[in-house]
Amino acid sequence: MRIIPDSELIINSDGSVFHLHLKPEQLSDKIIMMGDPDRVSLTASFFDSVECDIQSREFHTITGTYKGKRITALSHGIGPDNIDIVITELDALANIDFKTREVKKDFKQLTMVRVGTSGGLQPHCPIGSYVVAAKSIGFDGVLNYYANRDKVTLADFEDIFKKHVGWNPQHCAPYVVKADEELVERIGHDMIKGVTISAIGFYGPQGRYVRMPLANPDLNTKIESFRFGEDSITNYEMESAPLAGMGRLMGHKAMTVCTIIANRLAGESNSNYKGSIEDLIKKVLERI
């Protein structure tokens, strides 16, 4: 049995995991995730009771109960690099014995639903709609650093996508992964099912031109016209692909659902989306 070195998994002196500052007993197996730490407080405002409220950097965690269900609300910050940190540490909290530093014999499966905001790329994804990332395309490259990524990705989809858009070899190799099918149906049965791109940044990597010209100015036009069978690319965000991919590799159930706050085709956005995200959080609390 491998003993995980201190340098590979850092455990704080109080017995909490390094970045999240959570202890194993403070984590539920039902987790609602979001980028904004303040959104964790919003989610917990619907709880019937609260066990713990922990803040460390951009990682805010509240565990409590909602209608008899024990749920953890957690913020992961912005970007795929943060997802790598959060999913690894959540899995460690569930499946590593912090005293012996060994993998536990009995695997604990986590259910993780990310609630986010996103920009729509298709006419059928208007501002205010909810889009489930049934499939995600990772522009971030995170999954490429882990063994067996090809066992959870869709090679045909990847190849046809790269040919269609003329993928720049200087970028990270894109990967395509499905979210957990049962979870998608349970959470998003009455929502739009789409293909979501997880970008490595918010501006240039999503085709936004502010002051610096883009290396691939026509990439979004090619993305919007891409079809793979009945699939079209519905929206951009920054976290769904590493969440779904790492979740599958680890054996957890994971998915992302976003409220659309911008329509990239129309060049419109809605910065006052609080009511929409609040309603989406309530739906996920009911269905998780």
In this prediction, residue 267 carries a pLDDT of 58
Sorting pLDDT into bands at 50, 70 and 90, what band is 6?
very high
pLDDT score at 85: 98
When pLDDT is averaged across residues 278-283 and rounded to a whole number, the result is 95
What is the rounded CA–CA span in Å between residue 286 and residue 288? 6
pLDDT digits (tens, 9 = 90+) for 234-276: 999 999 999 999 999 999 999 999 999 887 655 565 555 555 8
* pLDDT given at position 275: 54
pLDDT surpassing 80 at residue 197: yes
Rounded to two decimals, the pTM is 0.94
Q: What is the pairing mode between strands 175-178 and 111-120?
A: unpaired
Nearest CA to 177 out of 254, 111, 112 is that of 254
pLDDT digits (tens, 9 = 90+) for 119-148: 888 988 888 899 999 999 999 999 999 999
**Which residue do the tokens 């990682």 mark?**
59
Is residue 231 over pLDDT 80?
yes
Q: Would you put residue 179 in left (φ > 0), alpha (ψ -120 to 50) or beta?
A: beta
Least Cα distance to 146 among 199, 96, 84, 80 occurs for 84
Task: Tell me the average pLDDT of the chain.
Answer: 94
Residue tagged 């010209």 (tokens) = 213
| Paired sense of beta strands 102-103 and 130-138, if any | unpaired
What's residue 124's pLDDT?
Answer: 87
What is the pLDDT at residue 265? 59
pLDDT-derived band at 159 (thresholds 50, 70, 90) equals very high
- Percentage of the chain lying above the pLDDT 70 cut: 96
Q: Which amino acid type is present at position 217? A: P
Mean pLDDT calculated for residue range 8-23: 98
Where do the domains of the chain lie? 24-287
CATH superfamily of 24-287: Nucleoside phosphorylase domain (3.40.50.1580)
For 18-66, the pLDDT digits (tens) are 999 999 999 999 999 999 999 999 999 999 999 999 999 999 999 999 9
Q: What is the mean pLDDT of residues 86-115?
A: 98
